[in-house]
């Protein structure tokens, strides 16, 4: 008996293998498989009715393939192979509920493929109402009933002319049901709920379509350009929400589409895009935005074909999908304009795009269809820690023509349960229903800011408790232990709350990917973008501000940096250029690098341009870096021709200004012929300022550390006055005006004699001067805040809560100096100096 069993398994396994590699025209093989199976069925013990039924179905399928009368032979062959796989699993596991279900499911799939869905479930077409009613009685585990509902829906769609939206929804419901039945749904209960919604929407769609009795016309809707505008009963609030949501969705879709460009087999990305189109379609249909829902429907159909591996997401299909997202964006903009009272215009090219979506093959030359590589079973098992890599290698070498899973089981490396689990994982990955690991809550930013404020306050309040003398000098050690424990929690809370401000650069970088693609297309270049460190986090305020500089620099890299393909080949480079966008943390800063492997900066050209513009008198004695930095001068461009992407000479100076406004720095490194690298060095957050706490009389001020050059106590003989009032100090041969902070801010009780206090040198160039303070109290990181309703005070950049809970004012040295120049007569401006010197 045991031997017979073994033999049956081998026959089934061989048949499966043959079937999966089958040339459908090869009738001899089909017949051979059929004969082998027929014999097997005879040998099977009659109690295995499920297995026998399934194998009979497989036989039917083979018959159909053999006779060539099946409309979709490849699908049939796949279904048959799946059926055999299920049978194999069933035989190997010798019973158990799971293989039983798999058997059932495979049978149903096969039945469908054979075109008689009633083979396994004796249900005819169901009406949507019936389907909904049946569904209510089913749980996620009632796979057989659910299978019946699915088949009923499929029969309904096939049999009755439904409005197109309802039909699409019903098909989707059937698909989702299918995934539940086959055990592929990550969360059957949720999937079931989704099915419920889909059927409900389908019913709604039916009802809506009743009055105007729209035919289920997927035909080009060219003759309906009229009646554009918002539906009369549109709710502006709902529309606004729709606009906001849809934009986010579209962004997500774009990101996924771009990742598909590099990896067309990424099923998760396909699903993301599909879901976006699907959601937009549903919502827009609900809101009566017909144009949007039509387009989304077209795009969804395209994606669903990609999802079903009917077409590969490459070339023209990819373009089509991207164009669809663009068009959706424009349509949504049009809706927003319409909300503002403008007339709603259909964006140009809408009809054409819709037609292309209906029939993408007119555009597409590539309709290659090959089965997608899945993560290999061995890899999954190794990842699950069931077997070692060596086991897999060994099993793979002597597996012969049996599947790896089988070989592993036979060699005793893995149990059948492990293999079955891995197989299911593999299937789940294949269907793209990998469980979502992260979930999100959207929080208003002002609440978040408030939370961060409160936590900061908590830290200060706690440190007050911890430093209270009753705690410090206590004999109750238990108390101080508890205070220390609370302190740890508070600090952790602070770290957490600060991290909530931080967002990864991913979204920004993804936008750049799109930009590179577009600019490269426009300028006829081939450019690969390599993105590194997109998970690097940065303050969310910073993200917005660095966006524009990045766009400028990426454009420059692609448009100016990378050479056209023919030039590159002449120089012995690969025709496709590489732009690398990288981000990483370095010493409390975030560094963003944009590097291209293009022609590099041309020192000669920059120097001659600068000479012509009178920026320099000669480039002799200038380092390469000095020359390169000239490109940051306003209106400077070395591009020979102005293109519509760059070369107008506005850009790099804006970049530099923006970066400096963020207290950041920008460096250039360039090698002629090899490429250019721009490094942006930015502080992690704008909210936290490194400051020097200084004392002036009874007041304490914070001077940003970045603007302090040095501080020193002057010698009496280094001080001099102008006209008895303006004071100057000599520092290493330079004369600096002395500015008395206490006089400017009217602070009583401050140190009057500079030799008793300290001079802090701030500012650059003409604004350089020395501020007189009493003493330095130490360096401190502070969180800059506004002074509330008081408005802007010249010389004060904002306030910060100091360690003792009081408010300290953050000075703006540049403004302080400017203020002194404007108001005080006792501070001479620099041009006066020569008369003294």
Partner 1 sequence: MAINPTEPVVKPASHAPGLAGGKFLTFFLADEEYGLEILKVHEIIGMLPVTRVPRTPAFIRGVINLRGKIIPVVDLRQRFGMPAAEQTNETCIIVVQARGAQMGIVVDRVSEVLDVAAQDIEPAPQFGGDVRTDYILGIGKAQGRVELLLDIDKVLSHQEVAAAQSAANASNVQNAAE
Euclidean distance between CA atoms 78 and 64, whole angstroms: 13
Is residue 788 at the binding interface for partner 1, with CB under 8 A as the rule? yes
Under DSSP, is residue 751 helix (H, G, I), strand (E, B) or coil? coil
The position carrying tokens 């502080």 is 683
Is residue 767 at the binding interface for partner 1, with CB under 8 A as the rule? no
What is the nearest approach in angstroms of partner 1 to the Cβ of residue 834? 20
**Interface positions, 439-458, toward partner 1 (CB under 8 A):** 453-454, 456-457
Asked if 686 and 539 touch (Cβ cutoff 8 Å), the reply is yes
Euclidean distance between CA atoms 130 and 136, whole angstroms: 10
Residues 557-586: x where in contact with partner 1 by CB under 8 A, - otherwise, as a string: ------------------------------
Long-range contacts of the stretch 545-548 (C-beta < 8 A, 24+): 545/658, 545/661, 545/662, 546/508, 546/592, 546/658, 546/659, 546/662, 546/680, 546/682, 547/508, 547/511, 548/654, 548/655, 548/658
- Residue choice 230, 785, 833, 836 for contact with partner 1 (CB under 8 A): 785
Contacts of residue 417, Cβ cutoff 8 Å, sequence gap at least 6: 93
What is the nearest approach in angstroms of partner 1 to the Cβ of residue 742? 10
Asked if 15 and 7 touch (Cβ cutoff 8 Å), the reply is no
What is the nearest approach in angstroms of partner 1 to the Cβ of residue 807? 4
Euclidean distance between CA atoms 283 and 388, whole angstroms: 49
**Interface positions, 665-724, toward partner 1 (CB under 8 A):** 699
- Residue choice 531, 669, 747, 776 for contact with partner 1 (CB under 8 A): 747
Euclidean distance between CA atoms 222 and 243, whole angstroms: 26
Q: How many of the chain's residues bind partner 1 (CB under 8 A)?
A: 30
| % helix, strand, coil for the chain, step of 5 | 55, 15, 30
Q: Which stretch binds partner 1 (CB under 8 A): 312-320, 389-397, 643-651, 801-809?
A: 801-809
Closest CB to partner 1 among 352 and 457?
Answer: 457
Is residue 794 at the binding interface for partner 1, with CB under 8 A as the rule? yes
Contacts of residue 278, Cβ cutoff 8 Å, sequence gap at least 6: 172, 296, 300
What is the nearest approach in angstroms of partner 1 to the Cβ of residue 790? 4
What is the nearest approach in angstroms of partner 1 to the Cβ of residue 454? 6
**Interface positions, 808-837, toward partner 1 (CB under 8 A):** 808-809, 821-823
What is the nearest approach in angstroms of partner 1 to the Cβ of residue 521? 48
Under DSSP, is residue 564 helix (H, G, I), strand (E, B) or coil? coil
Closest CB to partner 1 among 588 and 805?
Answer: 805
Closest CB to partner 1 among 215 and 805?
Answer: 805
- Residue choice 66, 242, 274, 745 for contact with partner 1 (CB under 8 A): 745
- Residue choice 365, 441, 790, 837 for contact with partner 1 (CB under 8 A): 790
What is the nearest approach in angstroms of partner 1 to the Cβ of residue 704? 17
Asked if 347 and 331 touch (Cβ cutoff 8 Å), the reply is yes
- Residue choice 746, 765, 835, 837 for contact with partner 1 (CB under 8 A): 746
**699-704 vs 688-696, strand pairing mode:** antiparallel
Q: Which stretch binds partner 1 (CB under 8 A): 140-148, 301-309, 516-524, 805-813?
A: 805-813
Asked if 528 and 496 touch (Cβ cutoff 8 Å), the reply is no
- Residue choice 733, 791, 831, 834 for contact with partner 1 (CB under 8 A): 791
Q: Which stretch binds partner 1 (CB under 8 A): 133-141, 266-274, 610-618, 741-749?
A: 741-749
**708-712 vs 699-704, strand pairing mode:** unpaired
Closest CB to partner 1 among 247 and 785?
Answer: 785
Q: Which stretch binds partner 1 (CB under 8 A): 431-439, 501-509, 629-637, 794-802?
A: 794-802
- Residue choice 144, 650, 801, 830 for contact with partner 1 (CB under 8 A): 801
DSSP state of 793: -
Closest CB to partner 1 among 34 and 799?
Answer: 799
What is the nearest approach in angstroms of partner 1 to the Cβ of residue 816? 10
Under DSSP, is residue 559 helix (H, G, I), strand (E, B) or coil? helix
SS (H, E, C) 339-396: HCCCCCCCCCCHHHHHHHHHCHHHCCCCCCCCCCCCCCHHHHHHHCCCCCHHHHHHHH
Q: Which stretch binds partner 1 (CB under 8 A): 52-60, 91-99, 630-638, 807-815?
A: 807-815
Closest CB to partner 1 among 147 and 795?
Answer: 795
Closest CB to partner 1 among 36 and 787?
Answer: 787
**Would you put residue 583 in left (φ > 0), alpha (ψ -120 to 50) or beta?**
beta
Is residue 744 at the binding interface for partner 1, with CB under 8 A as the rule? yes
**577-586 vs 527-532, strand pairing mode:** parallel
Sign of CA dihedral 37, 43, 44, 47: positive
The position carrying tokens 């990426």 is 554
What is the nearest approach in angstroms of partner 1 to the Cβ of residue 363? 56
Closest CB to partner 1 among 682 and 797?
Answer: 797
What is the nearest approach in angstroms of partner 1 to the Cβ of residue 446? 12
What is the nearest approach in angstroms of partner 1 to the Cβ of residue 485? 23
What is the nearest approach in angstroms of partner 1 to the Cβ of residue 744? 7
Residues 597-616: x where in contact with partner 1 by CB under 8 A, - otherwise, as a string: --------------------
| Residue 11: closest CA among 91, 103, 105 | 91
- Residue choice 793, 814, 830, 836 for contact with partner 1 (CB under 8 A): 793
- Residue choice 161, 343, 614, 789 for contact with partner 1 (CB under 8 A): 789
Question: Taking CA 436 as the corner, what is the angle to CA 435 and CA 437, rounded to the nearest 5 degrees?
Answer: 110
CA distances from 578 to 535, 548, 560, 782 (A): 21, 21, 13, 41
Closest CB to partner 1 among 4 and 454?
Answer: 454
Closest CB to partner 1 among 361 and 804?
Answer: 804
**734-740 vs 726-731, strand pairing mode:** antiparallel
Is residue 400 at the binding interface for partner 1, with CB under 8 A as the rule? no
What is the nearest approach in angstroms of partner 1 to the Cβ of residue 792? 8
Closest CB to partner 1 among 315 and 456?
Answer: 456
What is the nearest approach in angstroms of partner 1 to the Cβ of residue 783? 9
What is the nearest approach in angstroms of partner 1 to the Cβ of residue 217? 55
Closest CB to partner 1 among 483 and 747?
Answer: 747
The two tokens of residue 733 are 């041969």
What is the nearest approach in angstroms of partner 1 to the Cβ of residue 797? 12
Residue 470, classified by CB atoms within 10 Å of its CB into exposed (0-12), middle (13-18) or buried (19+), is exposed
**What sections of 213-311 are H helices per DSSP?**
236-262, 267-287, 290-307
* Phi, psi dihedrals of residue 89, rounded to the nearest 5°: -60, -40
Euclidean distance between CA atoms 107 and 58, whole angstroms: 8
Residue 830, classified by CB atoms within 10 Å of its CB into exposed (0-12), middle (13-18) or buried (19+), is middle
Residues 241-260: x where in contact with partner 1 by CB under 8 A, - otherwise, as a string: --------------------
Footprint on this chain of partner 1 (rule: CB under 8 A): 453-454, 456-457, 699, 744-747, 785-791, 793-796, 799, 801, 805-809, 821-823
């Amino acid at each position: 008996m045991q031997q017979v069993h073994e033999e049956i398994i081998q026959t089934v396994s061989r048949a499966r293998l043959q079937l999966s590699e089958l040339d459908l025209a090869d009738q001899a093989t089909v017949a051979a498989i059929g004969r082998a199976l027929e014999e097997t069925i005879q040998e099977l013990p009659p109690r295995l009715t499920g297995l026998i039924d399934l194998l009979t179905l497989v036989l039917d399928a083979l018959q159909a393939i053999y006779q060539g009368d099946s409309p979709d032979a490849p699908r049939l062959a796949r279904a048959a192979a799946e059926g055999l796989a299920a049978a194999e699993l069933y035989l190997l596991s010798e019973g158990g509920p799971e293989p039983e279900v798999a058997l059932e499911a495979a049978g149903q799939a096969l039945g469908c493929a054979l075109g008689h869905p009633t083979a396994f479930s004796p249900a005819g077409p169901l009406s949507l109402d019936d389907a909904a009613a049946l569904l209510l009685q089913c749980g996620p585990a009632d796979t057989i009933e659910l299978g019946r509902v699915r088949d009923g829906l499929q029969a309904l769609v096939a049999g009755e002319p439904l409005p197109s939206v309802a039909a699409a929804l019903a098909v989707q419901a059937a698909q989702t049901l299918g995934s539940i039945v086959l055990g592929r749904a990550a969360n059957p209960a949720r999937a079931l709920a989704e099915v419920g919604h889909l059927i409900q929407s389908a019913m709604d769609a039916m009802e809506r379509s009743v009055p105007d009795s729209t035919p289920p016309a997927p035909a080009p809707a060219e003759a309906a350009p009229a009646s554009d505008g918002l539906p009369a009963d549109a709710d502006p609030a709902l529309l606004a929400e729709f606009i906001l949501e849809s934009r986010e969705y579209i962004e997500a879709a774009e990101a996924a589409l771009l990742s598909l460009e590099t990896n067309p087999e990424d099923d998760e990305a396909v699903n993301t895009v599909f879901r976006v189109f699907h959601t937009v379609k549903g919502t827009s249909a609900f809101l009566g935005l017909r144009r949007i829902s039509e387009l989304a429907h077209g795009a969804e159909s395209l994606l669903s074909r990609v999802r079903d591996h009917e077409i590969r997401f490459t070339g023209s299909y990819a373009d089509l999908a991207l164009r669809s997202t663009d068009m959706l964006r424009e349509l949504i903009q049009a809706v927003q304009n319409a909300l503002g009272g403008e007339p709603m215009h259909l964006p140009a090219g809408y009809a054409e795009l819709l037609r292309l979506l209906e029939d993408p093959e007119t555009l597409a030359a590539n309709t290659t269809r090959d089965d997608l590589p899945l993560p290999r079973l061995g890899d999954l098992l190794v990842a699950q820690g069931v077997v070692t890599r060596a086991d897999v290698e060994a099993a793979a070498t002597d597996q012969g023509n049996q599947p790896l899973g089988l070989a592993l089981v036979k060699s005793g490396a893995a149990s059948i349960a492990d293999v079955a689990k891995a197989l299911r994982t593999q299937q789940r990955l294949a269907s793209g229903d990998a469980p979502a690991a992260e979930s999100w809550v959207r929080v208003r930013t002002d609440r978040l800011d408030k939370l961060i404020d409160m936590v900061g306050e908590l830290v200060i309040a706690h440190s007050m408790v911890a430093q209270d003398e009753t705690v410090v000098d206590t004999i109750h050690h238990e108390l101080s232990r508890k205070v220390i424990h609370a302190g740890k929690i508070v600090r952790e809370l602070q770290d957490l709350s600060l991290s909530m401000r931080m967002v990864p650069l991913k979204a920004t970088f993804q936008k750049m990917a799109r930009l590179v693609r577009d600019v490269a297309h426009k300028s006829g270049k081939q450019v690969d973008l390599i993105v590194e460190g997109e998970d690097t986090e940065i303050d969310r305020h910073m993200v917005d501000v660095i966006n524009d500089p990045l766009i400028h620099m990426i454009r420059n890299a692609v448009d100016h940096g990378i050479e056209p393909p023919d030039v590159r080949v002449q120089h012995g480079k690969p025709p496709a250029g590489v732009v690398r966008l990288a981000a990483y943390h370095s010493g409390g800063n975030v560094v963003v690098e944009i590097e291209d492997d293009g022609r590099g900066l041309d020192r000669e050209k920059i120097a001659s341009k600068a000479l012509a513009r009178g920026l320099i008198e000669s480039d002799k004695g200038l380092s390469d870096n000095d020359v390169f930095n000239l490109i940051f001068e306003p209106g400077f461009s070395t591009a020979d021709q102005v293109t519509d992407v760059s070369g107008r000479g506005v850009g790099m100076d804006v970049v530099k200004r923006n970066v400096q406004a963020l207290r950041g720095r920008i460096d250039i490194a360039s090698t002629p012929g090899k490429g250019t690298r721009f490094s942006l060095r930015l502080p992690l957050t704008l909210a936290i300022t490194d400051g020097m706490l200084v004392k002036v009389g009874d007041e304490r001020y914070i001077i940003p550390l970045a603007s302090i050059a040095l501080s020193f106590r002057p010698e009496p003989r280094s001080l001099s006055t102008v006209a008895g009032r303006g004071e100057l100090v000599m520092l290493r041969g330079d004369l600096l005006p002395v500015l008395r902070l206490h006089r400017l801010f009217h602070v009583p009780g401050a140190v009057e004699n500079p030799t008793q206090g300290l001079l802090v040198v701030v500012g650059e160039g003409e604004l350089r001067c020395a501020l007189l303070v009493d003493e330095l109290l130490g360096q401190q990181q502070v969180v800059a805040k506004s002074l509330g309703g008081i408005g802007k005070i010249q010389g004060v950049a904002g306030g910060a809560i100091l360690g003792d809970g009081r408010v300290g004012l953050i000075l703006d040295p540049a403004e302080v100096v400017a203020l002194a120049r404007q108001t005080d007569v006792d501070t001479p401006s620099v041009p006066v100096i020569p008369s003294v010197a």
